[in-house]
Amino acid sequence: MPEHTPAPTPSRSLYGFFMYLFSKTMLGLYCAWAFIPDKYLHYFNIYYYPQKYWATAVPIQCLVALTLFAFLIYPSMNLMLMTHIDHINTMSDPISNYSVISNENPYKIPDMCICTNEHSCMKHNYSATPQDLNENTVPPLHDLNIRFVCKKLYLNRNK
């Protein structure tokens, strides 16, 4: 059984080439129907074709449908999937990571080294003090507790 892969295969290249030719042919026929006057089409005995009105009506209707979907239907679907504003899951969820103050060093030095020459590697000769680690590193990412946020935003300091 062949492996399912997005890589090009001979059958996919043939389908792609056929779709390319088909789309270019259909675009040419559409432009010919839309722009060539009726008397030239009648000269070639072509009498059965849609009215020229549909040459502009169908693309405009497609654009209106796309606009309605993009600005009305899609945001409405996303709003229906949201939880209510007073629901607890708008504040926190099971994946929330709140900061916990601990005395252990969260910055672990890995045992492996990527140096090409292990004798000139400085990994084992350098040790950072906790003060260096606190000043020169980015703290781990965490969520803010809603109580902390409300305290910082709404606590009246003048009283």
Q: What is the pLDDT of residues 23-61, one digit of tens each?
A: 999 999 999 999 999 999 999 998 999 999 999 999 999
Report helix, strand and coil shares of the chain as percent, to nearest 5: 50, 0, 45
Is residue 22 within 8 Å of residue 29, measured between CB atoms? no
pLDDT at 45: 93
CA angle, 72 then 77 then 83, to 5°: 130
Torsion of CA 89, 94, 95, 97, to 10 degrees: 90
For the chain, the average pLDDT equals 82
pLDDT at 11: 82
Which tokens is 142 given?
């965490």
pLDDT at 89: 78
Q: What single string gives the DSSP state of each residue in 118-139?
A: GGG--TTT----HHHHHHHSPP
Residue 90 to residue 84: CA distance in whole angstroms: 8
Dihedral sign, Cα of residue 24, residue 26, residue 27, residue 32: positive
